[in-house]
A and B are shown apart, each in its own frame.
Chain A
Amino acid sequence: MIQLKNIHRTFQVGEQTVRALNDISLTINKGEYVSVMGPSGSGKSTLLNVIALLDKPSSGRYLLNNQDVTQRSDDELAKIRRENIGFVFQFFHLIPRLSAAENIEMPMILAGIAVKERKLRVVQTLASVNLQDRAQHRPDQLSGGQLQRVAIARAMIMRPEILLADEPTGNLDSKSGTEIIELLENLNRQGVTLMIITHDQALGDRAPRQIRIVDGQIAQ
């Protein structure tokens, strides 16, 4: 499902060239559960951003569902992302003026889905993350764990095949962190391909497949 071939990503900072990703080749199959670990600055987020189509590799090929997505326009990528990839961030990134339900609804609004269908799906998804009674709360009225559950609901609302999470528990205490991981694993059991970046060895060890990144390369 995800095939990376000799992916490089370099950043030019002044005179210096930073090799954030240095010749990464990786295949992830449908329904896999992968954790990504590694020291800070090793390129984990950069890798996830490339897979999420938020960032473009400097060189190499990226096949998503056997289609080359390296040479697509921004808007094409936006549509592929919208349909195929859910993303969960360390800092939740909810829109502060919108309620939980409205935040969850946003990807469907962008996709142009009809209002009736949207309302139905929001109710279902809120229930699946156990937040039915928080639908009208705004982000500043929710706890960290609840915020991340809203974010997961939003990531899943378009029913993507791939769910990417960049340190989803980084800002949570261990109890709600575990809750979130269990929620994500539950989604994986339902068939979603899951990829989680984490600094927490215990959490990383839960994944059947573990990838370690050091200095922009996959360490064996």
Chain B
Amino acid sequence: MLFKDTLIQAIGAISAQRLRAALIILAMGIGVASVTVLTALGESARSYIVNEFEALGTHLVIVLPGRTETTGGQPPLFGETPRDLTLEDAEALSRSHHIAAIAPLTIGSAPVSTQGLERETNIFGSTYALRRVRHLTIAQGSFLPKMDANKAMPVCVIGQTVREQLFAEQPALGQWLRINDRRFRVIGVLASEGQSIGVDFDEMVIIPVASAQALFDTRSLFRILVETKSKQSMYQAIDEINSIIKARHEGEDDITLITQDSVVNTFDKILAVLTLAVVSIAGISLVVAGVLVMNVMLVSVTQRTAEVGLLKALGATQRQLQGLFLTEAAILSLAGAVLGLLLGQATLATLEAAYPNFPVQLPAWALLAALGVSLFTGLVFGVLPARKAAKLNPIAALAKK
């Protein structure tokens, strides 16, 4: 039997039972659509978050005060609270050859006002290195000047939202901004960054770190952001940071280092597992569709018992009969898969139109996988009916009217 003829016969049999075929295709289509949509959403969420972190720079090390890992062994005898990180700690790090830039960071929240307009906003105390470490872009003026980190200076750089709210009518550059009871001159405006994980720089006012420490009356740093010279030097840099701080903290390992790498990996893993879980749940609908295919094919075999018997009497081999019924199941499943992909793409397009900021894209592998899985289910669930058809006794089948 020629393959083309198998196809033609299978299509003929399908079109003789239009409504049933349509229902199967719909069920399969819904299964495939839900799998593709959920895969696309999961994938997009993952790549969105991973991209956000990668935007931080791939050789970023974040130094936090305190040890978050349990090391086992005896708890320290003196004082449970870890030593603060200080500006001196940050400066000491510059001894490492593997470090390209160090940005100490103090953060706080304070009322910011100018000419009667006031709002509460986040204040970042840092140095000129912050711009490099966080890849900030300046829209107007300049960033914090390169100077001794210990020196306070009454200058500030503001984000776009702050500029719009406080300097809507006039250019912001050169104006005075009051933070708490101190005055700072605006020397730069950041370009709008859009949403960035954790920090919204549009809402930010950045001042020199020493000024921020004075403003919030603290000597400690929130964290130190370190950019290593290359990705390869990351591990040496981490070792050196640990040993430098340890030496300064009387032999105490009381800092935590976070690499952008490790964060991305963790998120990557969590989201991949989540996606898999969601997609598996959607996969159940595919299995249901498969059972439906089986059911319809079984009915089809039963209804066409006489036909099957006749084909056997005319010299059809078991393989030919199995081939016919499997081809029927495969065509139904594939049609379902195509419908599902169309439905899925339509849903994704709608989502995209509704949430333009969240880019959804269906990875090519998911597309192929959806096609493959539906075809596979169709065939697996088609085998039983096909075998049943092939095994029919021709005399009994023909006798059945």
A110: chain B residues at CB < 8 Å are 1, 311, 314-317, 320
Contact between chains at B318 and A54 (CB < 8 Å)? no
Contact between chains at B394 and A54 (CB < 8 Å)? yes
B319: chain A residues at CB < 8 Å are 75
Contact between chains at B314 and A75 (CB < 8 Å)? no
Contact between chains at A78 and B316 (CB < 8 Å)? yes
Contact between chains at B395 and A82 (CB < 8 Å)? no
Alpha-carbon separation in the docked complex, A75 to B320 (Å): 10
Closest beta carbon of chain A to B223's beta carbon, Å: 75
A21-29, A33-41, A86-94: which lies at the interface: A86-94
Contact between chains at B315 and A111 (CB < 8 Å)? yes
Contact between chains at B318 and A81 (CB < 8 Å)? no
A204 within 8 A of B: no
Produce 1/0 per residue, A90-114, CB < 8 A to B. Answer: 0101010110000000110111101
Contact between chains at B1 and A112 (CB < 8 Å)? yes
B312 within 8 A of A: yes
Contact between chains at A107 and B314 (CB < 8 Å)? yes
A182 within 8 A of B: no
Closest beta carbon of chain B to A36's beta carbon, Å: 17
A30 within 8 A of B: no
Contact between chains at A107 and B401 (CB < 8 Å)? no
A49 within 8 A of B: yes
B345 within 8 A of A: no
Q: Which of B1, B313, B314, B398 has the most CB of A within 10 A?
A: B314
Contact between chains at A106 and B314 (CB < 8 Å)? yes
Contact between chains at B5 and A81 (CB < 8 Å)? no
Closest beta carbon of chain B to A46's beta carbon, Å: 9
Alpha-carbon separation in the docked complex, A147 to B156 (Å): 97
Produce 1/0 per residue, B1-33, CB < 8 A to A. Answer: 110010001001100100000000000000000
Contact between chains at A154 and B314 (CB < 8 Å)? yes
A81: chain B residues at CB < 8 Å are 313-315
Alpha-carbon separation in the docked complex, A110 to B316 (Å): 6
Contact between chains at A93 and B315 (CB < 8 Å)? no
| Number of B residues, CB within 8 Å of A | 25
Contact of B12 among A74, A75, A97 (CB under 8 A): A97
Q: Which of B311, B315, B320 has the most CB of A within 10 A?
A: B315
Produce 1/0 per residue, A49-87, CB < 8 A to B. Answer: 100101100000000000000000011001101110001
A82: chain B residues at CB < 8 Å are 314-315
Contact between chains at A54 and B12 (CB < 8 Å)? no
A93: chain B residues at CB < 8 Å are 306, 309-310, 313, 398
Contact between chains at B311 and A89 (CB < 8 Å)? no
Within 8 A of B (CB), among A91-147: 91, 93, 95, 97-98, 106-107, 109-112, 114
B268 within 8 A of A: no
B401: chain A residues at CB < 8 Å are 91
Closest beta carbon of chain B to A108's beta carbon, Å: 9
B54 within 8 A of A: no
Closest beta carbon of chain A to B389's beta carbon, Å: 13
Contact of A54 among B1, B320, B395 (CB under 8 A): B395
A78: chain B residues at CB < 8 Å are 312, 315-318
Closest beta carbon of chain B to A33's beta carbon, Å: 22
- The residue of chain B having its C-beta at the shortest distance from the C-beta of A81 within the complex is B315
B307 within 8 A of A: yes
Alpha-carbon separation in the docked complex, A75 to B312 (Å): 10
Within 8 A of A (CB), among B289-343: 306-307, 309-320
Alpha-carbon separation in the docked complex, A55 to B313 (Å): 10
Closest beta carbon of chain B to A9's beta carbon, Å: 11
Contact between chains at B315 and A74 (CB < 8 Å)? no
B315: chain A residues at CB < 8 Å are 78-79, 81-83, 107, 110-111, 158
Alpha-carbon separation in the docked complex, A111 to B16 (Å): 24
- The residue of chain B having its C-beta at the shortest distance from the C-beta of A86 within the complex is B314
Contact of B5 among A95, A109, A154 (CB under 8 A): A109
A107: chain B residues at CB < 8 Å are 314-315
Produce 1/0 per residue, A180-215, CB < 8 A to B. Answer: 000000000000000000000000000000000000
B316: chain A residues at CB < 8 Å are 78, 110
A83: chain B residues at CB < 8 Å are 315
- The residue of chain B having its C-beta at the shortest distance from the C-beta of A76 within the complex is B317
B317: chain A residues at CB < 8 Å are 74-75, 78-79, 110
25 inter-chain pairs at a CB distance below 8 angstroms, sorted by A residue, are: A49-B395, A54-B312, A54-B394, A54-B395, A74-B317, A75-B318, A79-B317, A81-B313, A81-B314, A81-B315, A87-B313, A89-B398, A91-B401, A93-B306, A93-B310, A93-B398, A106-B311, A106-B314, A107-B315, A109-B1, A109-B2, A110-B316, A111-B1, A114-B2, A158-B315
Known: A52-B313, A110-B316; 14 extra A-B contacts, CB below 8 A, are A54-B312, A54-B394, A75-B317, A81-B313, A89-B398, A93-B310, A97-B16, A106-B311, A109-B2, A110-B314, A111-B315, A112-B1, A112-B5, A158-B315
